[in-house]
Structure 1
Amino acid sequence: MAQEMLNALLLPLLFSMASGTFIFLYRPEQRGQGLLILTLFQLVGAAGYAMQPTTELLALLSAHALAVLVMLTRHLQTPVPVPQASRDQ
């Protein structure tokens, strides 16, 4: 009975970590949207943990939160590119 929430959230959270890592590494223009989606997945997992708290689910959510935190920190440390003025006058 206690495994139901873990079984329901395991694959979506693992998929979100994998796809979030892919977006973070290979699509820098979509990093902000990807990090927002990862944060929303974290909130869904937290709601599941509030319904059925287990140690395994807490470990999964902690790993997911760590991945989101690292990607968010790296994203915020990346300088914003400044558009170059065109010289076609």
Structure 2
Amino acid sequence: MDQEMLNALLLPLMFSMVGGTFVFLYRPEQRAQGLLILTLFQLVGAAGYAMKPTLELFALLCVHALTVLVLLTRHLQAPLPVAQPEQK
């Protein structure tokens, strides 16, 4: 079988989707860095697909790209978080 690249990229891409969603929802001050990391994972996946293209890996990359697109769009539409004043 020709599944080596899918096996090598499945867990990192799944982890990046879960971790990126967590950062997006619960750490708004780190959203920009999280989205950058998600984009870099997408590029790593695309490089893996260029080396060994399979339909399964393409489907995984499409799901990952959709996740990145949705989170990036939501980030660009959301207002900037306001720093809370210190309580004394």
TM-score, normalized by length of structure 2?
A: 0.90
Whichever residue aligns with residue 18 of structure 1, its letter is V
Whichever residue aligns with residue 60 of structure 1, its letter is L
Matches within 5 A, 1:17-56: 17-56=17-56
Count the aligned residue pairs.
84
Distance 1:80 1:67 in 2: 21
From the CA coordinates, give the structure whose radius of gyration is larger: 1
Q: Quick one: percent identity of the two aligned structures?
A: 81
Query: Cα RMSD (Å) of the superposition?
Result: 1.4
Q: Which runs of 4+ in 1 moved over 3 A?
A: 81-84
What residue ranges of structure 1 are gaps of 5+ in the alignment?
85-89
TM-score, normalized by length of structure 1?
A: 0.89
Distance 1:70 1:19 in 2: 15
What residue ranges of structure 2 are gaps of 5+ in the alignment?
none
